[in-house]
Structure 1
Amino acid sequence: MTWKIPLFKMYWDDDDVSGVSKVIKSGMSWASGPQIAEFERIIADYIGSKYCLTFNSGTSALHAVLLAYGIGPGDEVIVPSFTFIATANAPKFVGATPVFADIETSSFGLDPADVETKITKRTKAIIPVHYGGFPCKIKELKKIADDHGIPLIEDAAEAFGASIGKRKVGTFGDSAILSFCQNKIITTGEGGAIVTGNRDLYEKLKLLRSHGRPDTVDYFSTTQILDYITLGFNMRISSMTAALGIAQLQKIDHILSQRRADAEYYQSRLTGISGISVPKETRGTYAVYQLFSIQTKKRDKMIKALEKEGIMTKVYFSPAHKTHYYQKVLGYTDSLPVTEAISEEILSLPFYTGILRSDLDTVINAIENFSRMR
């Protein structure tokens, strides 16, 4: 279907095209050019982390970081069910067991109190998600992880640039994963990264993303016979991808200011409409609004009404523990009352950098008309 107003669009300019074109026209090093290290350096500097390593997706980053921590069969990893399925599935990638904890209502992130009840002797990591660009209760979760001597891995896929006080999301945990998929704050089409201050973890990740081969020299431009010292994968990004990421990052301040201004407009117009709850920042946090998600008890009817107007909406997220795979294949019977209640009401509206104010008005007017008719 061709939407009058799509859920999202990519934000790009001539700098993006030029950056990618330069790599292509060089005719060299499309898989291992200097743009990759530069992109990683810029990310680390922006986030405020010592190390950064890029991956071909946020999902690959999740897979790799669990492998790097040595998590495997018999281990448990606490995750939210209110998330993209990759967060829940990542423990399964390494043979571990995902353990679902409920969320709290202020940020839709993991509820520290429920996380505490889910920890056992087999718990080897906690993976909280910063939903939709809103920082979760990461400080409380970090204390729990530290008290139990287990790593906290931030899933910051939706929260690039978000912060608590002066500290960026991604620097509170022992490590964090980022995503640059097409609907994210900055995008390279597909892509991801891991940031960490742990040198040993960083070195393990370098091996895991490139076939278990030390990267002391560029594989594609050396005559040396290189060794393979562990099992690894091909999780690298290309030089073109990195060049696009560099160009995208040069626009980050404009991107975030534009998204926050548009989110404020949505909030000002939608607040007060009967039956609608709008997202709000908690005190001391800086949200980046990767999603603009409202809550309404008439969610399913609203989806159909807006669809008739050519307006795309989407449910982010339906619970992972309620999917066929977790219920019918794996036999999960978890009860997560807050997750389940919010998932019945959540609805993401069209929202992206550069969205026209007239398009926001069209969405808002359609919601107002829907509310009056009900």
Structure 2
Amino acid sequence: MKWKIPLFKIYQDDDDIQSVTNIIKNGSHWADGREIQLFENEISQYLGRKYAVTFNSGTSALHTLLLAHGIKNNDEIIVPSFTFISTANAPLFVKAKPVFAEIEDKTYGLDPEDVKEKINPKTKAIIPIHYGGSPCLIRELKEIADDYNVLLIEDTAESLGAKIKDKKLGSFGDSAILSFCQNKVISTGEGGAVVTDSKEIYDKLKLIRSHGRLDAQDYFSSTNYMDYITLGYNFRMPTMCAALGLSQLKKIDSIIKMRRSNSSYLTKKLSKNGITIPKSPSDYYNVHQLFTIRIEEQRDELMEYMSNKGIMTKVYFSPVHLTHFYQKKLGYKIGDLPVTEKVSNQVLSLPMYPTLTKREMDYIAENIEKFLKVK
């Protein structure tokens, strides 16, 4: 369908195009160029972490991170059900068990109180997400992780650049993952990264992402034998993606500024009865990767109405624990996570991107108001 207003548009400029063009014209090092290490250095500096390792997706990054941290068979990992499914799937990739905990109603992140209820001797890690560009209650979750001596792994896929006071998300946990998929704050098309302060984890990540190969030299430019010392995967980020990431990261502050400005404008336009717009705590800096409203009744009817007007909307997220797979695999059922299920039945994400115009936002708000008047 051709949308008048899509859910998102990728922000790009001539510098992005030139950065990729340069790699292609180089004629070599498309998979192992210097831009990969440069991008990793810039990411680690931006987030104030010692190390960053890039991957071909955020899912690969999380999978590898769990392997690097030694998560294994029968370990339990506490995750939200209100998330993209890869957060829950990653523990299964390493034969661990995802344990779904409730979310709270402020940020739609993991509820610290329910997390404490779910911790037991088998619990090895907590993986909170920062929903839609807003910090979750990460400080409270960190206290719990420290008290119970379990790992805190931040899923920062949607919230690069967000922070609490002056501390950026991705710097609270033992490690964190990022995503550069096309609808994120900055994008490499597909791509991801891990940030950490642990040299041991850093070294393991590099081995696992590249077949378990000990790369003392560049594999593609050397004729020397290189040993394989562990089981690994082909999870590397291509050079042209890293080059695009470097170009995008240079303008992340201006991209976030545009997102926050648009979010502020749309919030004012939508301050109507029947619509709830979540508000972050005062010391939270939201980058608005998503703009999500809540409507208590007729959410699906509003979604259809907006579609008929050419405005794309989407539900982020339907509960993972109620997917066919997790009901069959782990026995979850309706009613197991009532807050998650209630929120998931009421949320609707509206278009949000840096180049969204006031005219487009007016059109969005006008049609929501028309729907509410009719209904």
TM-score in terms of structure 1 length: 0.99
Q: Which shifted more, 213-222 or 52-61?
A: 213-222
Deviation at 1:330, TM superposition (A): 3.4
Deviations 1:209-263 (A, max 9, x none): 0000122211011121000000000000000000000010111111010000000
2:288 is aligned with 1:294: no
Cα distance in 1 for residues equivalent to 2:325 and 2:360? 38
Distance in 1, matches of 2:358 and 2:216, equals: 50
2:275 alignment counterpart: 276
Q: How far did residue 28 of structure 1 move?
A: 1.2
Distance in 2, matches of 1:166 and 1:141, equals 18
Matches within 5 A, 1:206-355: 206-271=206-271, 273-297=272-296, 298-333=298-333, 335-355=336-356
Q: Distance in 1 between matches of 2:241 and 2:185?
A: 15
Please state how far the C-alpha of 1:281 moved relative to its aligned partner: 1.6
1:97-133 per-residue CA deviation (whole Å, 9 max, x = no partner) reads: 0000000011000000000000011101100000000
Please identify, of 242-251 and 326-335, the stretch whose mean Cα deviation from structure 2 is larger: 326-335
Name the aligned partner's letter for residue 218 of structure 1.
D
Please list the CA deviations of residues 46-86 of structure 1 after superposition, one character each: whole Å capped at 9, or x if unmatched. Answer: 11111000000000011001111111111100000000000
Distance (Å, rounded) in 2 between the aligned partners of 1:71 and 1:329: 19
Task: State the alpha-carbon separation in 1 of the partners of residues 124 and 356 from structure 2.
Answer: 42
Contact 1:279 1:292 in 2 (8 A): no
Quote the Cα distance in structure 2 between the aligned partners of 1:177 and 1:117: 25
Farther off after superposition, 329-338 or 6-15: 329-338
Determine helix, strand or coil for the equivalent of 1:154: strand
CA–CA separation in structure 2 for the residues paired with 1:50 and 1:327:
40
Deviations 1:151-186 (A, max 9, x none): 100000000000001010000000000000000000
* Equivalent-residue separation in structure 1 for 2:299 and 2:328 (angstroms): 26
Give the match's secondary structure for 1:124. Answer: strand
Aligned to 1:368: 369
In structure 2, the partner of 1:106 is: 106
Alpha-carbon distance between aligned partners in 2 of 1:307 and 1:354, rounded to the nearest angstrom: 20
> 2: CA distance between counterparts of 1:187 and 1:300?
30
For 1:142 and 1:216, how far apart are their aligned partners in 2? 36
1 CA distance for matches of 2:36 and 2:241? 8
Matched residue SS, 2:220: helix
Q: Which residue of 2 aligns with 1:175?
A: 175
8 Å Cα contact 1:134-1:287 kept in structure 2: yes
Deviations 1:321-360 (A, max 9, x none): 0100011343223611110110000000011111111111
Quick one: distance in 2 between partners of 1:22 and 1:367? 45
Whole-angstrom distance in 1 between the partners of 2:278 and 2:184? 18
Residue 19 in structure 1 maps to residue 26 in structure 2 = no
CA contact (8 A) 1:76 1:122 kept: yes
Deviation of residue 198 (structure 1)? 0.9
Q: Which moved more, 1:233-242 or 1:331-340?
A: 331-340
Aligned-partner SS, 1:83: coil
Q: Quick one: distance in 2 between partners of 1:363 and 1:115?
A: 37
1:72-221 to 2 correspondence within 5 Å? 72-221=72-221
Could you say which residue in structure 2 is the equivalent of 1:36?
36
What secondary structure sits across from 1:145 in the alignment?
Answer: helix
Sequence identity (%): 57
Q: Distance in 1 between matches of 2:323 and 2:71?
A: 24
In the alignment of these two chains, the number of paired residues is 373
Asked whether the equivalents of residues 58 and 192 of structure 1 are also in contact (C-alpha less than 8 Å), the reply is: yes
**Structure 1 runs not aligned, ≥5 long:** none
> C-alpha separation between the residues in 1 aligned to 2:291 and 2:189?
20
SS of 2:230's partner is coil
Residues 170 and 195 in structure 1, CA contact (< 8 A), matched pair in contact too: yes
Q: CA deviation at 1:279?
A: 2.4
